[in-house]
């Protein structure tokens, strides 16, 4: 009751919210079948903070051309709006978790795509991802995690240790339709390697 009041909800919303939260916690997140309620505290990190130093001025058009070449979702996106950036990027990843020896990124989205879960198809979610340039968001998240794991795991290998990205469109999660509301992807290892070099200030010719 207290949490409902803090969130601005009347008491009568409790059954609806309980059912919805339960559906989110029990939803299979990917082909492995893992769900949020299966994750132990030792296998997850909430709001993981990261920093990405940018050694040389990063030109948006060059970054955009690179990610469009490797990521099919990026290929259908509108152009990036910034011109160039240099310095330090700071961010937070909603959830990083480990399952069966692989690491995953999860991001929660509250986007409204339609009246019910039937509107949250793979095609509709992909269109929303493109419109908001969430592709670059997850690519930056992956780069940050890639660098972190490379320093933490002695024999780290992207293909072996990185499982993928999960975007959880909360309004679309439906236990009767498990494919709705959950968008997953896993970019090519070559893209992350080239982004790593680009952010380190290396040209593609030097790499």
Cα–Cα distance between 35 and 13 in angstroms, integer? 24
Tokens matching residue 66: 């690179």
- Give yes or no: 94 in active site: no
Residue tagged 């700071």 (tokens): 90
Catalytic residue among 41, 43, 71, 107: 107
With beta carbons less than 8 A apart as the criterion, state whether 30 and 166 touch.
Answer: yes
Q: Which of 165, 158, 162, 94 is nearest to 126 (CA)?
A: 165
- Contacting residues for 81 by C-beta, under 8 A, at least 6 apart: 60
DSSP summary character for residue 78: P
- Report the C-alpha gap between 142 and 166 in whole angstroms: 11
Active site residues: 107
């Amino acid at each position: 009751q207290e949490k409902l009041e803090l969130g601005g909800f009347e008491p009568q919303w409790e059954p609806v919210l309980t059912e919805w939260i339960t559906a989110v916690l029990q939803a299979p997140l990917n082909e492995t079948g893992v769900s949020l309620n299966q994750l132990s505290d030792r296998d997850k990190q909430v709001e993981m903070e990261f920093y990405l130093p940018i050694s040389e001025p990063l030109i948006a058009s060059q970054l955009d051309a690179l990610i469009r070449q490797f990521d099919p979702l990026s290929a259908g996106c509108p152009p990036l709006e910034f011109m160039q950036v240099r310095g330090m990027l700071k961010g937070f990843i909603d959830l990083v978790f480990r399952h069966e020896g692989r690491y995953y990124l999860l991001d929660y989205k509250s986007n409204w795509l339609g009246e019910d879960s039937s509107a949250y198809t793979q095609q509709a979610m992909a269109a929303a991802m493109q419109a908001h340039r969430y592709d670059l968001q997850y690519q930056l998240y992956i780069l940050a995690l890639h660098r972190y794991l490379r320093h933490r795991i002695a024999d780290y290998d992207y293909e072996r240790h990185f499982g993928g990205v999960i975007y959880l469109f909360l309004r679309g999660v439906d236990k009767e339709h498990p494919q709705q509301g959950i968008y997953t992807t896993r970019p090519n290892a070559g893209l992350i390697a080239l982004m790593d070099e680009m952010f380190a200030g290396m040209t593609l010719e030097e790499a």
